[in-house]
């Protein structure tokens, strides 16, 4: 390596999963072999001994590129990652990192996963964010490439009706898993490399989001600034998913999911659009639930989901995010809201 080689700051956020976070760090150490940079593990104020356990374990492992930090508060996913990014800027003052790599605590990059992302970024200046193919521990690929949410996608996702899905197939948020490297709308944050210059331009995660929709918002801000989102098929990461959040085990959707969804739409589309999107989601969801009842099928949504969404939707009828609505176009004025693959 030379002093001109690009540098990568890897941030891993922990919330009460210390051993799994250490496993993710170990995989990241191997994947960072030959890459200049550092790995910061941020404990998001777990208050369960996680910080001490990870700090002592890293000391025993003698990983000189790894540090364990305590955020001091649990401000959510975006706030925790922002803490790590800012800390990395301070620990590398002579040469700020060229790239920031966000890795979930339940995600384990294969040996060359980070190198493939870095190589793509170095060779493609238009790419602002690059994401990996993630697969479950059962070997099944996860959907990590998406279109941006719209009124149409809210209706399609809620109604779950074949004819509607076929009609709105170009509005469905989750893209088919790409079989080659390509541009997409936005990328999941489980394994995500970000060009530091882009963050200098658009800012860090919006900490108004506690959990969910924060990476969607960050990607949208980057796209609006003219940067590409690229799914790098060669970069492979094993991802368990929802370990810290417990989302898979929730019988009722947590309030912060609704809050984040509402804030995302208000922030980026304004009040009228948000109300319309919510009403269409409720209409589609009600149709789907009636069909499930007639077919004697179990509910496909968590308990009280539609009621909770309606109650949260009332906020959109009376309050706004207090920020100017942004036009969803690229610098040439071409709509990019759907995040079509190119």
Looking at the fold, whether 118 and 266 belong to one and the same domain comes out as no
The residues near 69 (Cβ < 8 Å, ≥ 6 apart) are 40, 41, 42, 43, 83, 84, 87
Please check whether residues 75 and 189 belong to one and the same domain: yes
Q: Tell me what pLDDT residue 93 has.
A: 59
Domain boundary pick from 195, 218, 248: 248
Burial status of residue 14 (CB atoms within 10 A of its CB: 0-12, 13-18, 19 or more): buried
> How many contiguous H segments (helices) and E segments (strands) does the chain have?
11, 11
pLDDT tens digits, one per residue of 111-168: 999 999 999 999 999 999 999 999 999 999 999 999 999 999 999 999 999 999 999 9
Residues 231 and 256 in one domain: no
The verdict on 210 and 94 lying in the same domain is yes
d(CA 237, CA 235) in angstroms, rounded, equals: 7
Helix, strand or coil for residue 187? strand
> Who's near 249: CB < 8 A, 6+ residues apart?
none
Burial state string for 272-300 with b = 16 or more CB within 10 A and e = fewer than 16: ebbbbbbbbbbebbebbbeeeeeeeeeee
Nearest Cα residue to 33 out of 110, 87, 99:
110
With CA atoms as reference, report the closest residue to 240 among 65, 23, 42: 23
Q: What is the mean pLDDT of residues 177-203?
A: 97
Considering the domain boundaries, does residue 27 fall inside one? yes
User: Is it the case that residue 240 has pLDDT exceeding 50?
Assistant: yes
Is 334 domain-assigned?
no
Residues 288 and 306 in one domain: yes
- The pLDDT of residue 241: 76
CATH number at residue 217: 3.90.550.10
Q: What is the pTM of this model?
A: 0.90
> 119 and 64 in one domain?
yes
> Which of 194, 235, 231, 2 has the alpha carbon at shortest distance from 81?
194
Establish if 53 belongs to a structural domain: yes
User: Facing residues of 44 across strands?
Assistant: none
Count the helix, strand and coil residues of the chain and give each as a percent rounded to the nearest 5.
40, 20, 40
- The predicted structure's pLDDT at residue 335: 43
State whether 277 and 193 are in the same domain. no
**3-state SS assignment for residue 49:** coil
The answer to whether position 127 is within a domain reads yes
Any domain includes 1:
no
pLDDT digits (tens, 9 = 90+) for 59-110: 999 899 999 999 999 999 999 999 999 999 886 656 789 999 999 999 999 9
Q: What is the pLDDT of residue 329?
A: 38
Do the domain assignments include residue 333? no
Q: Where are the alpha helices (DSSP H) in 35-142?
A: 50-61, 77-91, 113-123
Range of the domain at 269: 249-318
Q: Are residues 243 and 265 in the same domain?
A: no
Q: What is the rounded CA–CA span in Å between residue 51 and residue 233? A: 34
Query: Contact 207/103 with Cβ under 8 angstroms?
Result: no
Instruction: Please tell me whether residues 308 and 186 are part of one structural domain.
Output: no
In a domain? residue 341? no
- Alpha-carbon distance of 225 to 240, in angstroms, equals 32
Q: What is the distance of C-alpha 107 from the center of its chain?
A: 13
User: Is the domain of 137 the same as that of 256?
Assistant: no
- pLDDT tens profile 247-279: 555 689 999 999 999 999 999 999 999 999 999
Residue 155 lies in a domain: no
Domain match, 73 and 222 both = yes
How far, in Å, CA of 297 to CA of 299, rounded? 7
110 and 38 within one domain: yes
Give the chain's domain count: 2
């Amino acid at each position: 390596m030379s002093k001109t080689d690009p540098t990568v700051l890897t941030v891993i956020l922990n919330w009460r999963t210390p051993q799994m976070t250490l496993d993710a760090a170990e995989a990241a150490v191997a994947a960072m072999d030959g890459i200049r940079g550092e790995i910061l593990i941020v404990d998001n104020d777990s208050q369960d001994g996680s910080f001490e356990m990870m700090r002592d374990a890293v000391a025993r492992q003698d990983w000189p590129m790894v540090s364990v930090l305590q955020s001091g508060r649990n401000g959510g996913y975006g706030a925790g990652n922002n803490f790590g990014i800012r800390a990395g800027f301070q620990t590398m003052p002579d040469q700020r990192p060229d790239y920031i790599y966000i890795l979930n605590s339940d995600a384990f990059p294969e040996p060359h996963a980070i190198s493939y992302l870095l190589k793509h970024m170095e060779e493609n200046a238009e790419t602002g964010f690059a994401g990996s193919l993630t697969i479950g521990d059962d070997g099944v690929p996860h959907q990590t490439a998406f279109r941006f949410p719209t009124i149409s996608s809210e209706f399609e996702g809620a109604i779950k009706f074949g004819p509607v899905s076929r009609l709105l197939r170009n509005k469905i948020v989750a893209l088919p898993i790409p079989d080659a490297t390509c541009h997409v709308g936005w990328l999941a944050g489980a394994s995500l490399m970000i060009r530091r210059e882009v963050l200098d331009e658009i800012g860090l995660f919006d900490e108004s989001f506690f959990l969910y929709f924060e990476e969607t918002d960050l990607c949208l801000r980057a796209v609006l600034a003219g940067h590409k989102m690229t799914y790098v098929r060669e970069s492979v990461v094993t991802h368990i998913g929802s370990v810290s959040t417990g989302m898979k085990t929730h019988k009722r959707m947590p309030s912060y999911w609704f809050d984040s969804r509402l804030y995302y739409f208000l922030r980026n589309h304004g009040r009228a659009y948000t109300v319309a999107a919510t009403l269409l989601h409720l209409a589609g969801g009600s149709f789907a639930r009636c069909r499930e009842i007639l077919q004697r099928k179990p509910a496909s949504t968590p308990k009280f989901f539609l009621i909770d969404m309606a109650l949260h939707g009332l906020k959109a009828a009376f309050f706004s995010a207090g920020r100017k609505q942004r036009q969803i176009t690229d610098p040439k004025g071409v709509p990019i809201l759907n995040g079509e693959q190119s």
